[in-house]
């Protein structure tokens, strides 16, 4: 009986597991092998060089800059986005005490649509839009044009043309594009919390901050944890936005370079597919480590409503 059951299960799993291994696991294994070669991507021959590509990464100053920028993104973007998302979601759902009890601010439904709007736009549209907003030239720089129009010429900056500003502007644009989704996500989690709990907290004399820390945050923590990990993975994959806003070089002096862009440049500009695959493997390992660390750090006892 058991033998027949296992045969039945295996027969159903064999095809999907095989397809998964062929189209998901196999490319990873091929990338790892290519990272151990000196392949140009244009010829059939692949010269095995072992860990030489990985050793070269440690001496590549531009790779280290890209690695540093990815590190900043994976720390700052999730932290700021989650904090803004929680604050705005709490204002939209439990921001004031009305006649019917604790409720959101007036016009909360409209605010949700406004906050979520950036998610409707593709990364390409967002990148092109803000590239023109922060363009360093007077003709294309919308922000500089507005500053000069109101007499604030001294505030005009090269923005994306300045190594001190370029990377941080991209970081702010990433936060702006992500925060709306997490406002809606956290709002959905907060709406499942019974309003009677908030009423009881208010009757006990708890202030807004205490109510948020002792009531709201513990009850939506599972959602926050998932959002935090997903944000960290999104922050690691900043290739598209950086490429569109700063170009393939990573901006002035390559100050805004990230690992995804360094990989692309090595593969399709320099035709060093082995070296690019080594960068890709490092990016994969970092993403797995970051996800595991975030899950471990954010782990806490689950609070359930009775």
| Tokens 């499942």 -> residue | 192
Q: Is 263 exposed, middle or buried (0-12, 13-18, 19+ CB in 10 A)?
A: buried
The predicted model gives 215-236 an average pLDDT of 87
pLDDT tens sequence across 10-44? 788 888 888 989 898 999 999 999 999 998 888 77
pLDDT tens sequence across 93-133? 776 665 555 666 777 778 778 888 888 888 999 999 999 99
Q: Answer whether 224's CB lies under 8 Å from 186's CB.
A: yes
Q: Is the pLDDT of residue 301 over 70?
A: no
pLDDT tens sequence across 160-169? 988 999 999 9
| Proportion of the chain above pLDDT 90, given as a percent | 37
pLDDT band at 65; cut points 50, 70, 90 = very high
Q: Answer whether 215's CB lies under 8 Å from 174's CB.
A: no
CB atoms inside a 10 Å sphere around CB 102: 19
Question: At residue 190, what are phi and psi to the nearest 5 degrees?
Answer: -70, -30
Of 1.20.1260.10, 1.20.1530.20, 3.40.1030.10, 1.10.3720.10, the CATH number of 54-297 is: 1.10.3720.10
Q: Is the pLDDT of residue 305 over 80?
A: no
Q: Which is higher by pLDDT, 306 or 75?
A: 75
Torsion, Cα of 47, 49, 54, 56 (10° steps): -90
What predicted TM-score, i.e. pTM, was given to this entire model? 0.86
């Amino acid at each position: 009986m058991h033998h027949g059951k296992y045969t039945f299960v295996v027969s159903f799993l064999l095809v999907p597991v095989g397809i998964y291994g062929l189209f998901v696991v196999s490319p990873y294994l091929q990338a790892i092998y290519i990272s151990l070669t000196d392949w140009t991507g244009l010829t059939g021959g692949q010269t095995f060089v072992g860990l030489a590509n990985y050793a070269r990464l440690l001496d590549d100053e531009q790779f280290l800059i890209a690695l540093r920028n990815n590190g900043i993104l994976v720390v700052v973007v999730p932290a700021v986005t989650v904090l803004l998302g929680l604050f705005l979601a709490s204002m939209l759902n439990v921001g004031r005490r009305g006649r019917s009890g604790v409720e959101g601010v007036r016009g909360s439904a409209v605010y949700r649509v406004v906050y979520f709007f950036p998610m409707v736009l593709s990364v390409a549209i967002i990148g092109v839009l803000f590239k023109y907003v922060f363009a360093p030239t007077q003709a294309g720089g919308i922000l500089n044009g507005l500053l000069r129009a109101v007499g604030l010429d001294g505030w005009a900056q090269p923005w994306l043309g300045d190594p001190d500003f370029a990377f941080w502007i991209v970081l702010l644009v990433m936060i702006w594009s992500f925060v709306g989704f997490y406002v809606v996500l956290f709002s959905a989690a907060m709406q499942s919390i019974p309003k009677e709990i908030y009423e009881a907290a208010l009757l006990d004399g708890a202030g807004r901050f205490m109510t948020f820390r002792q009531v709201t945050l513990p009850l939506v923590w599972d959602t926050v944890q998932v959002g935090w990990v997903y944000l960290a993975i999104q922050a690691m994959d900043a290739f598209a936005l950086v490429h569109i806003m700063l170009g393939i070089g990573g901006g002035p002096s390559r100050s805004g370079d990230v690992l995804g862009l360094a990989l692309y440049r090595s593969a399709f500009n320099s035709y060093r597919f082995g070296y690019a695959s080594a960068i890709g493997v490092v990016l994969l390992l970092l993403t797995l480590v970051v996800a595991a660390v975030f899950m471990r750090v954010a782990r806490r006892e689950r609070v359930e409503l009775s």
